[in-house]
Chain A
C-alpha cells in the first residue's frame, strides 16, 4: 500500500512537472527542433540563440522592468494600506468601527473580474491608462489581507500598545519596532503573495496598457509574436528567464512555504 502510494504520487508528480521541464528544455531548441516529427524532448544541439534573440529582438527587458516596478510598488502600497487599516481596526476604538470594517471586508464578495468594464472607465476618466499607477490601482485594496492581519494583531494584547504610548512611543514606532517584527511570518507571506499576484496579473494590465513600452511581462509574453511559423524559441527562452528564479526560490524555501500555509489557514 505504501509503495503503491509512492508510485502513484511519483507518476502524478512527473505529469505535473512535465510542462515545466519541457519548457526549460525547449528554450535550448533550434528552430528545426520545434518542427521535428516526431516531436523532440531534448534539443538536438543545445543553443543559447533563443535567449540572445529574446533579449535582442523584443522589448523583454522593458516588459520585465515594468513588471518588477509595478509588482514592487503595488506590493509596498498594498502592504502599507493593509497594515495601517488592520492596525487601526484592532487597536483603536471609534464610532462605526465594526460597520466600516465589514464594509471593507465585504468587497471580497465583489469579484474584480465582473467590475472590469466599470473600473476601466474610471481609470480612463482619471487619465491613468498607460501608467504604473493605473496598472496597480485595482490591486491596492486587499480585504483578505486586512482581515488576516487583524486576526493576527488581535492576539497581541492592547495593553502593550497602551504601555508603549504612555512611555512616549508613537504609533509608527510601535508598529515598525514591535508589531510587525512579531507578526513577521504573516507579513512576509502576505507580501510575497501580493508581489506574485500583481506580477502575474494578466487581464487588467492588458486592458489599461496600449503602448508597447508600458506592457508588463505577462502581457508582453503572449505578444512576442514568433509563433506564426512555429518559431517558439524566443518565447520559451523568455518563459524560462521568467520562471527560473521563482522555481529556485520555491524549491529552496519549500519548508517555510508549506508551514506558512498551514499556519495561515488553520491558525495553528
Chain B
C-alpha cells in the first residue's frame, strides 16, 4: 500500500515546481490584479474597501490615461505593419543563394545579439539631435526627443530594432521550407516574382505570419521598457504607453488600485485584439 502511494504520488511531485510557480507568479497575481482594480488599495498593497467599477470610471475620465490608451493603440497601429513589412522584406530579399545572401542574413539577425538596454542606449545617442550621427548622415534636423511625432517614430524604430532578429529568422525559415520544386514549376509556368509571392509564398508562410502578427500585437500593447529608457514617456506624454503609466502609478505614486485597473484594461484589450486576429485567421489561413 505504502509503495503504491509513493508510486502514484510521484508524477504530482515531479510537476509540483511548475504548478507552484504557475500559481504563485501567474494565477495568484492575476486574481490579485483583478481584485485590486475593484478596491481602494493602501501603499502597502492591502485592499481597503470595495468600490466596484469606480477605479475604471475614474480611469476613463483621467486625461493621462486617455493619452496612454491612444498612444498605445497608435503605437500598435504603426509598429505592427511597419515591423512585418521590414522583417518580411528582409526575409524575401535575402532568400537567395550565395555568400552575399548569407552575409545579408547574418546582418538581419545580428540585432538579436544586442541586449534591450544596450540597443536603447545606442539609439538614444545616435538619434541625439545635436551631436547624433543620424540627423547628420541624413542631412535633417529632426528633434527626435522634443517633437511628439518624431518621438513616436523613434519608438517604432526602436521596436523594429528589438524585434527584427527573431522575426527575420522565423520568416526566413518559413520561406526556406517551401519545397523548391513548387517554386521551380511556378517559375517555369512564367509566374513573375510578385505572382510567386502572392499565390505561392504568402499562403505557405501564412501560419508563421499569423504567429508573427500575434506576438507583435502583444508586444506592442505591452511596450514599456524602451519607453522607460528612451523617452520616459515624453515629450508632453506623447510616448506614454499604458504599461509605462501602470509602472508610474504603481511604483512612483504607490497607487496600486489605479495601476491594477490599467493592467486589467491592458490585459483585456490585448486579449480582444488577439481574438480578433484568430477570427481572421480562421477564415483566411489554410494549414497544410
Contacts and interface: CB of A to CB of B under 8 A. Distances in A.
Interface string B107-131: 1111111111111111111100001
A112 B222 CA distance: 10
Contacts of B131: 34-37, 39, 230
B22 A141 contact: yes
Given A92-B11, A203-B228, A250 B21 contact: no
Given A5-B93, A13-B94, 10 more contacts: A39-B131, A84-B15, A114-B33, A115-B26, A122-B29, A200-B116, A218-B115, A218-B118, A243-B118, A246-B113
Contact of B117 (A34, A88, A92, A219): A219
A202 B116 contact: yes
Contacts of A122: 24-25, 28-29
A144 B116 CA distance: 21
Contact of B27 (A26, A107, A236): A107
Given A9-B93, A19-B122, A199-B115, A107 B107 contact: no
A113 B30 CA distance: 11
Contacts of B30: 110, 115, 118
20 contacts: A6-B101, A9-B96, A9-B100, A12-B86, A13-B104, A41-B133, A81-B17, A88-B15, A89-B15, A114-B33, A116-B243, A117-B256, A119-B25, A122-B24, A146-B18, A199-B115, A218-B115, A250-B112, A261-B170, A266-B173
Interface residues of A, number: 92
Interface stretch (A53-61, A97-105, A156-164, A178-186): A97-105
A268 B24 CA distance: 36
A258 B169 contact: yes
B259 interface: yes
B174 interface: yes
B32 interface: yes
A40 B125 CA distance: 13
B177 A113 contact: no
B94 to A, nearest CB: 5
A70 to B, nearest CB: 13
B40 interface: no
A47 interface: no
Contacts of B250: 116-117, 120
A39 B121 CA distance: 17
B238 interface: no
B22 A107 contact: yes
Interface string A75-115: 00000011011011100101001001001100101111111
A143 B26 CA distance: 11
Interface of A: 1-2, 5-6, 8-10, 12-14, 16-17, 19-20, 22-23, 26, 34-41, 81-82, 84-85, 87-89, 92, 94, 97, 100, 103-104, 107, 109-122, 124, 137-138, 140-141, 143, 146, 199-200, 202-203, 206-207, 217-219, 221-222, 227, 230, 232, 235-236, 239, 242-243, 246-247, 249-251, 254, 257-258, 261-262, 265-266, 268
Main secondary structure of the interface of B (DSSP, over half): helix
A23 B173 CA distance: 29
Interface of B: 8, 10-12, 14-15, 17-19, 21-22, 24-30, 32-33, 36, 45, 86, 89-90, 92-94, 96, 100-126, 131-133, 136, 161, 164, 169-170, 172-174, 176-177, 193, 208, 211, 218, 222, 224-225, 228-229, 243, 246-247, 250-251, 256, 259-260, 263-264, 266-267, 270-271
A218 B60 CA distance: 34
